[in-house]
Amino acid sequence: MAEERLQKILAGGGLASRRAAEQMITAGRVRVNGKVVTELGTKADPRKDKIEVDGQRVVQEHPVYLALHKPRGFVTTLSDPEGRPTIKDLLKPHGIPMRVFPVGRLDFGTSGILLLTNDGEFSDGLLHPRRAVPKTYVVKVDGLMEAKDLDRWREGVQLEDGRTLPAEAFVIRHEQGKTWFQITIREGRNQQIRRMGDATGFKVMRLARVAFAGITSEDLKPGDLRPLTYEELVELKQQFGVPRKPAVARSPIPGWERKPRAGVIARRSGNYMREEREADRARPAPRERATPRSAAPAKKPSRPARGRPGSRRDR
């Protein structure tokens, strides 16, 4: 393994975020091979070098990649100074043994798919503007949108920080003076969808992200999460060049299966279908219901013994 910056190694060990790790280094709490290190640019090899924080050895955690269906009313952070519910509260019931952080953000009033990981390179790769990772939302706005109104969203809306990139959008339905539509954008500005609604005269009333980089919230109830499948991680690498750590063959969370799931990019490969067939064969056969004695069928008469003509059986 190549050398990495100390703050990255500490974050990979689940001790703290990179910013907090930098504070640990400058405070003189970190030792490398027995020597105190205070320079932020210091690099080390987590496999060869002995790295300690407050005398405790730092061990690299198993990489984790999770998909969470975030409900409305939760802040996309691990701690909130205002005391509002955070996604950390959603992780507690699942007993995640590693420290994970969100890939990007969802607003307090926005629900939908949110990725979590402890792999910083993976997160940075998905959020880099150059990769233009698609994000799909279902939006409810106040007012009846016509084709020309939706064209403004498709072509780009002028905001305070510049015009938005072209988007894909189509109307789902109209009801009681409101419009439901779906839109896919490839940039991540702060509260972009809501600001686009204000700029075009259609106030956003409801917002949910249904897909991020092809990963959907299908089969996930609000508050539920699941590990990303190996197939999904491979697809992210092929489509967007997102780096990932190789040790993802098995889930690091006890009791969690890593079976591929149906979705936008979770393809049902031949291996998956074979696993499904094997799982069906492994299930115990259903027990037959005992037939009551009163309904028991009469015994069939036994067949006469066969033999050669003239033998003792025919006599």
> In which band, very low, low, confident or very high, does the pLDDT at 256 lie, cut at 50, 70 and 90?
low
For 273, the 3-state DSSP assignment is helix
Instruction: State the pTM of this model.
Output: 0.69
Domain boundaries, the chain: 4-57, 62-131+215-244, 134-212
Distance CA 123, CA 119 (A): 6
What's domain 62-131+215-244's architecture?
Answer: 2-Layer Sandwich (3.30)
pLDDT for res 180: 96
209, amino acid identity: R
With cut-offs at 50, 70 and 90, classify the pLDDT of residue 270.
Answer: very low
Please list the active-site residues.
107
The token pair that represents 222 in the structure block: 């609000």
- Tell me how far apart the alpha carbons of residues 20 and 177 are, in angstroms, rounded to a whole number: 49
| Options 1.10.1670.10, 3.40.1670.10, 3.40.190.10, 3.10.290.10; CATH of 4-57 | 3.10.290.10
Mean pLDDT rounded to a whole number for the chain: 79
Model confidence pLDDT, tens digit, residues 113-133: 999 988 877 888 898 888 899
Could you give the count of Cα atoms lying within 13 Å of 313 in the half-sphere of its Cβ? 7
> What topology does CATH give the domain 134-212?
Alpha-Beta Plaits (3.30.70)
Residue 72: exposure state from Cβ atoms within 10 A (0-12, 13-18, ≥19): middle
> HSE of 122 in the Cβ direction (CA atoms, 13 Å)?
24
Topology agreement, domain 62-131+215-244 and domain 134-212: yes
Between CA 277 and CA 281, with CA 279 as vertex, the angle to 5 degrees is 70
Tell me the pLDDT tens digit for each residue of 195-224.
Answer: 999 999 999 999 999 999 999 988 899 999
Mean pLDDT confidence for 96-111: 88
